[in-house]
């Protein structure tokens, strides 16, 4: 029996023309490395090893070989030679960085196209997925890099020049940390409401069984009691979370109502009277319909105010100021960790902006469809009139910021496009109505997915905010 093939040691070996080395490291290799991918290239070869042997080992030990395609790459005999070897092993992935005409064997392969800045995130996301790293994993890795960088910066502030330089940016750091903290509090409330909603549905189900008729005996009542106990525990946790946020009472106007609902449920449970559950459950249902959407809106508003770009610009200035500073060996290692974090923070800033934009584009689509909200059988003219205001926002959705749902959503939009063109017959009109209603259903799902993506990033930013707080404290206590 043959022995199992060991997994590749590296995710990617990148080949580039010598003239493009700095460009490739900056634009491709660094972002891949920040996504915690194991990337090797010419500059990482161990010293003393013959270059030909190092290249052969790199190709064989990597999941794939990435060709960084540029006009210089086409003219580089060494780069094309390496690509031929990787091509023969079916491990070559072309990445077009600048328009050029490579060898036909390379040109005929499916490639990643980074030449269009408006599609860079989408194409880079495809490359990450090919290498086994999802966009959210890469985003989480970027957040960890930022946290490590800020922690390293805090330690570097034992050097008075660094302390003095960083203190000049205290206001922008404080503003960002405050906004991240506020978003984190709202995210915690959002999560607790979501948990409570799940328990509420279980109580409703058990309650309906309890009044279903003669077959509804004691075991059903036991199930209702257990479900109500779980709901009470979740609501108490929600109340505790609200108290821990430190938000003023006027920002939590529903808190008194929540207390009244908890009291009503407790009274029903203490009296073992399931009939008394009805009133507090009705009030809770109304609250679940009103409050979580408002909290979600406030999270989106906070995201719009949060300027990670401003923080990244400040950190870039610190990095530039001390790039030639003579640190000792330990401090130099800390500076390197800090320097790497600047690009990662810009990645998070771009992702946050894209996720916020996706939310806004979906709102624009929803607003355009509102006139047909209750019409499940619109005629062709009604759909066509609204659809012209939908096509633009659909095209603006950032697939890199929603790789799990944007493609599906656009596919449903294309189905409406096609059905509109063929809606001249009764059968064609029915096809259009089905496609249009499916699109509206998909819009609701897209909203949920986009909000989940945004909330996931908000959770990852929480650790960044904590690291910013530590940096601010170091400034103030120095």
Q: State how far the Cα of 94 lies from the Cα of 107, in Å rounded to an integer.
A: 8
460 in the same domain as 343: yes
How many domains would you assign to the chain?
3
In a domain, 457, yes or no: yes
Closest CA to 472 of 161, 181, 171: 171
Inform me whether the pLDDT recorded for 242 exceeds 90. Answer: yes
397 in the same domain as 275: no
Distance between start and end Cα atoms, the chain: 66
Domain-ending residue, one of 84, 105, 133:
133
Q: Give the CATH number of the domain where residue 406 resides.
A: 1.20.120
336 in the same domain as 297: no
More confident residue, 36 or 243: 243
Dump pLDDT digits (tens) for 50-88: 888 899 889 988 888 999 999 999 999 888 888 888 888
Q: For 165, what's the count of Cα atoms within 13 Å in the CB-facing half-sphere?
A: 19
113: part of which helix (H) or strand (E)?
A: strand 112-113
pLDDT of residue 209: 56
469 in the same domain as 333: yes
pLDDT of residue 134: 62
pLDDT of residue 403: 61
Residue with tokens 């530039």: 320
Positive or negative, the Cα torsion across 184, 188, 193, 194? positive
More confident residue, 122 or 75: 75
In a domain, 319, yes or no: no
pLDDT of residue 217: 40
- Band (30; pLDDT cuts 50, 70, 90): confident
Q: Give the CATH number of the domain where residue 272 resides.
A: 1.20.120.660
429 in the same domain as 349: yes
195 in the same domain as 89: no
Q: What percent of the chain has pLDDT over 90?
A: 49
Closest CA to 138 of 30, 15, 300: 30
Q: Cβ(393)–Cβ(380) under 8 Å?
A: no
331 in the same domain as 301: no
In a domain, 95, yes or no: yes
Q: Give the CATH number of the domain where residue 110 resides.
A: 3.40.50.10140
Domain-ending residue, one of 83, 116, 133:
133
333 in the same domain as 432: yes
274 in the same domain as 200: yes
Closest CA to 297 of 180, 455, 139: 455
Q: Cβ(311)–Cβ(345) under 8 Å?
A: yes
Residue with tokens 């490579």: 102
Average pLDDT score over residue span 436-449:
89
Give the structural domain span for 351: 327-477
Q: For 84, what's the count of Cα atoms within 13 Å in the CB-facing half-sphere?
A: 8
Q: State how far the Cα of 97 lies from the Cα of 103, in Å rounded to an integer.
A: 15
pLDDT of residue 220: 41
Highest average pLDDT, of 3-7, 400-404, 458-462, comes from 458-462
In a domain, 342, yes or no: yes
Average pLDDT score over residue span 271-299:
86
301 in the same domain as 178: yes
188 in the same domain as 112: no
Inform me whether the pLDDT recorded for 138 exceeds 60. Answer: yes
Inform me whether the pLDDT recorded for 132 exceeds 50. Answer: yes
- Band (126; pLDDT cuts 50, 70, 90): confident
pLDDT of residue 6: 46
In angstroms, the Cα distances linking 267 to 104, 170, 232, 273, 278 are: 78, 51, 11, 9, 12
In a domain, 149, yes or no: no
457 in the same domain as 402: yes
- Band (218; pLDDT cuts 50, 70, 90): very low
- Band (3; pLDDT cuts 50, 70, 90): very low
Structure tokens given for 77:
């005999």
Q: pTM to 2 decimals? A: 0.67
Residue with tokens 């525990």: 233
Inform me whether the pLDDT recorded for 211 exceeds 90. Answer: no
Phi-psi region of 272 (alpha: psi -120 to 50; beta: other; left: phi over 0): left
Task: Tell me what the pLDDT averaged over the chain comes to.
Answer: 87
Inform me whether the pLDDT recorded for 446 exceeds 70. Answer: yes
In degrees and rounded to multiples of 5, residue 376 shows phi and psi of: -85, -10
Dump pLDDT digits (tens) for 334-375: 999 999 899 889 889 988 888 889 989 998 999 999 899 888
Q: State how far the Cα of 204 lies from the Cα of 228, in Å rounded to an integer.
A: 9
Q: Cβ(290)–Cβ(441) under 8 Å?
A: no
Structure tokens given for 118:
């408006």
Domain-ending residue, one of 133, 164, 194:
133
In a domain, 154, yes or no: no
């Amino acid at each position: 029996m043959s022995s199992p093939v060991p997994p590749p040691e590296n995710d990617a070996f990148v080949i580039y023309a010598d003239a493009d080395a700095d460009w490739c490291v900056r634009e491709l290799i660094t972002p891949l490395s920040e996504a915690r991918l194991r990337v090797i290239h010419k500059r990482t070869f161990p010293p003393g090893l013959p270059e030909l042997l190092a290249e052969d080992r790199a190709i064989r030990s990597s999941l794939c070989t990435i060709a960084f395609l540029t006009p210089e790459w086409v003219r580089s005999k060494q780069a094309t030679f390496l690509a031929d070897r990787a091509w023969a092993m079916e491990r070559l992935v072309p990445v077009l960085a600048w328009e050029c005409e490579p060898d036909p064997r390379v040109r005929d392969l499916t490639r990643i196209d980074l030449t269009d800045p408006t599609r860079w995130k989408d194409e880079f996301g495809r490359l990450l997925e090919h290498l086994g790293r999802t966009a959210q994993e890469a985003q989480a890795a970027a957040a960890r890099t930022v946290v490590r960088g800020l922690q390293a910066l805090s330690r570097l502030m034992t050097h008075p020049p660094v302390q003095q330089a960083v203190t000049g940016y205290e206001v922008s750091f404080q503003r960002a940390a405050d906004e991240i903290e506020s978003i984190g509090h709202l995210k915690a409330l959002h999560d607790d409401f979501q948990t409570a909603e799940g328990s509420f549905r279980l109580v409703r189900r058990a309650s309906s069984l309890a009044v279903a008729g003669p077959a509804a005996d004691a075991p059903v009542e036991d199930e209702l009691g257990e479900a109500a106990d779980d709901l009470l525990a979740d609501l108490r946790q929600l109340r505790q979370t609200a108290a821990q946020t430190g938000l003023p009472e006027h920002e939590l106007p529903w808190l008194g109502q929540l207390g009244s609902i908890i009291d009503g449920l407790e009274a029903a449970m203490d009296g073992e009277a399931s009939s008394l559950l009805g009133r507090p459950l009705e009030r809770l249902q109304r609250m679940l319909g009103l409050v979580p959407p408002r909290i979600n809106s406030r999270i989106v508003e906070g995201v719009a105010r949060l300027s990670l770009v401003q923080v990244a610009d400040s950190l870039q200035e610190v990095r530039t100021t001390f790039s030639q500073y003579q640190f000792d060996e330990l401090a130099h290692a800390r500076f390197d960790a800090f320097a790497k974090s600047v690009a990662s923070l810009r990645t998070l800033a771009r992702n946050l902006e894209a996720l916020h934009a996706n939310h806004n584009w979906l709102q624009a689509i929803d607003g355009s469809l509102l006139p047909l909200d209750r019409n499940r059988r619109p005629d062709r003219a009604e759909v066509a009139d609204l659809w012209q205001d939908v096509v633009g926002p659909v095209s603006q959705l950032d697939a890199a910021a929603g790789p799990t749902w944007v493609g599906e959503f656009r596919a449903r939009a294309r189905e409406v496009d096609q059905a509109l063109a063929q809606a001249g017959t009764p059968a064609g009109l029915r096809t259009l109505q089905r496609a249009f209603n499916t699109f509206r259903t998909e819009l609701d799902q897209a909203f949920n997915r986009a909000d989940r993506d945004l909330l996931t990033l908000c959770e990852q930013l929480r650790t960044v905010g904590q690291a910013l707080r530590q940096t601010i404290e170091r400034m103030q206590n120095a």
